[in-house]
Structure 1
């Protein structure tokens, strides 16, 4: 079992894989780095939409590490996405050459944090079993805007046997700092999702007979806000390719 520092070293050396299931017990986080002039607007956006954008840490401008992430934010995630004026223009494994002294980085809670607890409670986690990325979807639900930032809610989906949905809700509600309980159960069309086999981010998973699609708020929501709001420059993690922090999952669990 790799430690966070060992996993970050592998990513720094070029390993590019989704991080679900990596470093069990250690918290994973979404990354968004924005110019300082947009940082307050995004912080307010996150405060107004805490289930989708639960902020775990914020850096000073230009800093390349954080209190919960002792690695290098420019190199130690498996993959990054680069946005200019809201458009995705590049995806790479190292953003050192693009880094700016005015970038403020936000580490945002990730639902991967509660997946071990789901499994311990007997709830299957299909993308882990399949060795694939979690499916993520833009929805028809609008986040509450803040300043220049606005955008739709993005959700992750996990199929859950109908008899275990209540268990999944109970388990994940104990992790409010990493998205917490589901935002929707069943009926994807009510979220504006037409086809579970075609996620906007990540990879599709099988929904078997007797299973219900369960949807959690997702930390890709900030990148959807970047695409809508069009700041001149932003860096985010590639969906599913997270920052593995030095914080423990148990730190974000409530009784």
Structure 2
């Protein structure tokens, strides 16, 4: 879609003089969020032959390049683009690009009138109104003394390429006090719509930014004690885009300069977002520091899932182990992960072959199936003695349609801490993790005395490989998070709630797992936790707020239907087939020891199938 620029009746030279000289009242007078009036914009001038591709590039990467409008070729005469009449300024207002290189800074385009006749001018939203939104939210305006424009940084995040336009995302950063973080993010979104939504909160290294004191544009920003760096997409991405296309001639407005237009901000004029569209901010990692966001409606659904799976049908006392929002933060972390290692297997029936139980593998494979649908790498880690069993389970799960493709299965016989690091990291280098999230679902966990116990205090250490060591090693490797799913306190990862296990769970003083995970998901049956994680991932990746954050506001959004995510969810049919497979291999129920269609002594029909349906109802319900 093309737009035509119209100037306000207000003297353009006066407005332009104000904005170029950075008078502090300009934003209050002419760019009040939510009110019509002149709006500051950055400009890009390109040959008409490149205009269709650049317009599509902006539409595809609307976060950093919010396209307000464009002119017809030559419609902006050089006198309009030149220095404002009566204004004396040596401040560069434009940049000139030749074959991708910036070859000069100009105070006027008056000397290029012939070239401008065949050029199209694009108007892109810039950061002035965002600054006002943050100020209204309680964050003091930066550059109060009138110094140069704020810091902006090139990232290693690629924008979605269109024809010859291919460049990295550029972001601007503001330090935000931790105690004001969510309020300021919500304020910026309320006043600026999706353009007020940040694309990253936390460690700049996750964007490929090595040093905040060395911005690519503008003046450095300093994060003080208690500050969290928050990043928004920057219109300065357009400079990188112009450079990438290597056209013989192009012009852009200089960083920190803008022109005033009467193009209205439709998002601001539409009013505040609905409560369900306002993002909630949640910390998902301390090392490196990383926050994620999701809409209030998505968060509410995931909290409902957490409540649903916490029903204690076995009367084990798991209600005492619950920690609020562990499912939410675990699923947020998994949503950001690229490669996940899942482990399961609890050999509670030590007098039988195989000694495994029916709780664990179904939940693990259900989660693996959904992670695969999200195009994440997935592997499984199991005991060496159970490798053949799990290879058969995976093969038959593929044949039965529970899984689409096979999952690589690993074993870890143990060794030194270096051996664990070697499995988790490429070439054993902690700077290059092979997995960024570990998940244990009903995996036997090491107690404080070094042994492994079933619920009846029977030591089953002789049947267990020390996969716990991988979780311990991950605690010391930045960039690897972990989740433990359990229903009795003796499962891997439940070390996070071990004191509650000791106090409230039968035999807890002996059986409590001593190894922590970052997130401890508690469920009445551990399989339910695996199902709930898959459902939570569906909710998050169907959430526009979270999806935009995941893709850093670059590239097009993806609807769930386009990705077949619904088909990848757990279902009664698939889980019944999975339990059938386990029964065929004589895997027993964890409580009763029965080889049959039950898990933890509870029948599939009438209990587990109803739980799956409840989770699906919450997941797919319209808000």
Interval of TM-score (by shorter of Structure 1 and Structure 2)? 0.7 to 0.9
Contact 1:21 1:112 in 2 (8 A): no
What CA distance in whole angstroms lies between the structure 1 residues aligned with 2:24 and 2:76?
23
Tell me by how many angstroms 1:79 deviates: 0.8
Contact 1:74 1:95 in 2 (8 A): yes
Could you say which residue in structure 2 is the equivalent of 1:55? 67
Closer, same or farther: CA 158–4 of 1 in aligned 2, 3 Å: farther
Closer, same or farther: CA 74–36 of 1 in aligned 2, 3 Å: farther
Q: Larger C-alpha radius of gyration, 1 or 2?
A: 2
Q: Which has the higher strand share?
A: 1
1:41 equivalent in alignment to 2:61: no
Match of 1:22 among 10, 16, 26: 26
Match of 2:111 among 97, 103, 123: 97
Match of 1:79 among 73, 90, 93: 93
RMSD of aligned Cα (Å): 2.5
Closer, same or farther: CA 176–63 of 1 in aligned 2, 3 Å: farther
Which runs of 5 or more residues in structure 2 are unaligned?
1-9, 32-38, 85-90, 273-623
Closer, same or farther: CA 229–85 of 1 in aligned 2, 3 Å: same
CA offset digits 1:87-137 (Å, max 9, x no partner): 000101101212421110111011211222221221223334664311001
What CA distance in whole angstroms lies between the structure 1 residues aligned with 2:11 and 2:171?
26
CA offset digits 1:134-159 (Å, max 9, x no partner): 10011000000111211110001111
Tell me by how many angstroms 1:22 deviates: 3.0
Could you say which residue in structure 1 is the equivalent of 2:254? 238
What CA distance in whole angstroms lies between the structure 1 residues aligned with 2:17 and 2:237?
27
Closer, same or farther: CA 229–19 of 1 in aligned 2, 3 Å: farther
What is the TM-score with the length of structure 2 in the denominator?
0.37
Contact 1:33 1:234 in 2 (8 A): yes
Match of 1:144 among 156, 160, 170: 160
What CA distance in whole angstroms lies between the structure 2 residues aligned with 1:149 and 1:111?
22
What CA distance in whole angstroms lies between the structure 2 residues aligned with 1:139 and 1:91?
24
1:204 equivalent in alignment to 2:204: no
Instruction: Tell me the SS of whatever aligns to 1:222.
Output: helix
Could you say which residue in structure 1 is the equivalent of 2:469? none
Which runs of 5 or more residues in structure 1 are unaligned?
66-70
Instruction: Tell me the SS of whatever aligns to 1:173.
Output: helix
Which structure 2 residues correspond to residues 55-204 of structure 1 after superposition, within 5 A? 55-64=67-76, 72-76=80-84, 79-99=93-113, 100-128=116-144, 131-174=147-190, 175-176=192-193, 179-204=195-220
What CA distance in whole angstroms lies between the structure 2 residues aligned with 1:182 and 1:221?
15
Could you say which residue in structure 1 is the equivalent of 2:242? 226
Instruction: Tell me the SS of whatever aligns to 2:224.
Output: coil
What CA distance in whole angstroms lies between the structure 2 residues aligned with 1:21 and 1:136?
23
Match of 1:32 among 44, 55, 60: 44
What is the TM-score with the length of structure 1 in the denominator?
0.86
Q: Which has the higher helix share?
A: 2
Could you say which residue in structure 2 is the equivalent of 1:68? none
**Count of aligned pairs between the two proteins:** 243
Instruction: Tell me the SS of whatever aligns to 1:160.
Output: strand
Contact 1:135 1:203 in 2 (8 A): yes
